[in-house]
Structure 1
């Protein structure tokens, strides 16, 4: 089993969530445990769909080709992460109150569904690549959900303390480099 890959994919897919959690913490906006669970579940659902789609690819091409394509896709996603603005996540970090529709400084379960869907966007392509590599869907989903919950919780709890740290400032770049390293590791792992 690819335990190292599964753990690192969970971390890489959720480093942006740490930044988002920090942004909420700095603005003194709460993300209750139940709302955080909803965000993690959204990431898990998107990851499961993506891994399943990726594993379907194996049925039409050889396992070696699927592994190579999945690994290269992880590298491309990592490079895209480094070079792009990561969809609307920068907007969330600079204006976290966008998802607090009732303006009470608490992310409700309903608000968490929308936020979770936006935060799970990076799980989509990574999940497809993981599925194409033939890596366990269930353990990948559990890893993504666990690290989603932990990064949002730590980020929102630590708020202003971590925004000035290396991880807070460079979470997107760290995530991108991790994805590239996972892709390279998977190319040579089989």
Structure 2
């Protein structure tokens, strides 16, 4: 089994969640456990759908070609992540109040659903690539959900402290490089 890939994809897909958690923590906005769980579940659902779609590709092309395409797709997603100026993430980080509709400095269940949907977009393309590589959907989904929950919790708890750290400043770039490393690792693991 591809345990290293499963763990790294869980981390890479959720470094932005750490940044979002940091942004909320800095502004003293609370993300209760239930709301954090909603964000993680949204990521898990999107990941499962994406991995399933990616694994369907194997039915139409050889497993070797699917693995190669999936690995290359991870590398491309990594490069895109590094190069792009993703408005939605930057908008959320600089305007953490955006999803706090009632302005009570607590992200409610409903507000977490919307935030979770936006953050889960990170899991979509990576999930398709993982599925094309034939990597376990269940373990990938659990990894994504676990790291989503942990990264938002850690980020919001340590907000002011971690924002000034290397991870806080460069979470998007680190995420992109991790995806490239996973893609290269999977190419040579074929």
Which TM-score applies when normalising by structure 2? 0.99
Q: Deviations over 1:66-88 (max 9, x none)?
A: 00000000000000000012340
Equivalent residue number for residue 168 of structure 2:
168
- How far, CA to CA, are the matches of 2:173 and 2:13 in structure 1? 12
- How far, CA to CA, are the matches of 1:45 and 1:87 in structure 2? 23
Q: What is the DSSP-based 3-state SS (H/G/I as helix, E as strand, rest coil) of the residue aligned with 1:120?
A: helix
Runs of 4+ displaced beyond 2 Å: none
- How far, CA to CA, are the matches of 2:130 and 2:153 in structure 1? 26
Shift in CA distance, 89/38, structure 1 to aligned 2, threshold 3 Å: same
Deviation at 1:136, TM superposition (A): 0.1
Deviates more, 1:58-67 or 1:78-87: 78-87
Equivalent residue number for residue 183 of structure 1:
183
- How far, CA to CA, are the matches of 2:117 and 2:189 in structure 1? 32
- How far, CA to CA, are the matches of 2:32 and 2:113 in structure 1? 13
- How far, CA to CA, are the matches of 1:105 and 1:83 in structure 2? 32
Question: Structure 1: where are the runs of 5+ without partners?
Answer: none
Aligned residues: 190
Are positions 1:59 and 2:70 aligned together? no
- How far, CA to CA, are the matches of 2:94 and 2:86 in structure 1? 13
Q: Deviations over 1:127-177 (max 9, x none)?
A: 000000000000000000000000000000001000000000000000000
Deviates more, 1:3-12 or 1:77-86: 77-86
Matches within 5 A, 1:14-163: 14-163=14-163
Question: Structure 2: where are the runs of 5+ without partners?
Answer: none
- How far, CA to CA, are the matches of 1:121 and 1:89 in structure 2? 11
Coordinate RMSD, CA, aligned: 0.5
